[in-house]
Chains A and B, each alone.
Chain A
């Protein structure tokens, strides 16, 4: 129980930390440029909106008052109003969230399947050349810019093979390529860590002992090695949610999809500070929730956590 409470507190800390960074980067550093944007934004912006923004951000007040005032508003669910759209940020973000959740969820599923698959194959393939290729595959994956992966997938599966739609939001079929694009770099990290720990396990003293007591190689990899390798893999899977969310900016641009990433990109282009802040905080919240889920699942795969607290 103490473990659960501590992990929940940690998740809260992560979200607070993310909030603090957005505030530091957007409002405080450097030279208060965000406040300049807010107070002196283009002439086509409604004057009453500007006044309300100034009131909200309390730009004339001392820094700590601005910080805590905004923090309280954020905690109560008020993310402010978009400068360019004139609607609450919560509405903008809320509208985009389901699209990104669908994309991220499928991407995560792809990355886990692909990552664990590569790791297992790399450790069990009979041919040495195949093992070598599979072991170096993750680092090749990680060398591909996300936008290039997306474009290649479009070129091959949409334009050449006509299997899947190239762009758009409609239906599950349109989700596959973007999810693959986001999932590939995440799978690389998972594969790297899992393959390495499987390799170390199967070449370590425990595997030697298992061999010596008549356990076959298949059982060593699947029954023993995998049980141990999923422990570091789980941590990486949690971490990869952050990468998938950040990668959504690029994936959604490449595939012309709606979602948080597009909202963020538009926000950066129009220097719409409240929107940028809102998206980053929501992303951090999702990231923290995903890691909380991993943390709570953790004792099931590593008994030393559940009972090993000194």
Chain B
């Protein structure tokens, strides 16, 4: 569905370096990383908003530049902000967008308008951020797109809106022919719905794996400061010390257990733990 290989893009103070990952049909992939890690740049390269230096981007098995029009016809794209003509009404904006898509489904659009409680006569500049995001989603979902790409769709939204949007995404993925790729730094959203996680930091991919595998292969270690020897520090993926003890991330639970026995607590990590410790170490 989406295959990126050795993608490179260099800027003055930042670069995307050898980014590779693959999203298969029927899955949701979360694209995580701290602010400024390269998530939006990668998405802009996929959408050909930026010109890559080298590497390949294939969507539906086709080059994203050579077959740009055909590919975008099958992609539903949602930005972190709407980027609509704000002086227009929802209906006027829809009238502009609809003819561009070969498979625009007016009935489906009307259904989403109703489900999202959006009034077509309302001006876009009067909509709240959450409502604009719902409108963007309605457009992205009303032309039978096979791939939904979203850049930070839940940032700045309250938990109720976020949950609603995640529920919508979850319902879309019930159709096994569709896939979703979405970037976020709110990792709790992904723990609910993602099948795969791709983690980017400082322009490089740290990992791109099944979510459950990731959560199983890492662990959070909690213990007293006296247990945190220099040798242990070196073997950890990241740690932080407080007055009452240390907390760390490891990818070798058995080694920690052998070394420290029952003196430490070993817990299942959250995606946020993993992102925090790895990004800090890098």
A binds B: no
Binding site for B on A (CB under 8 A): none
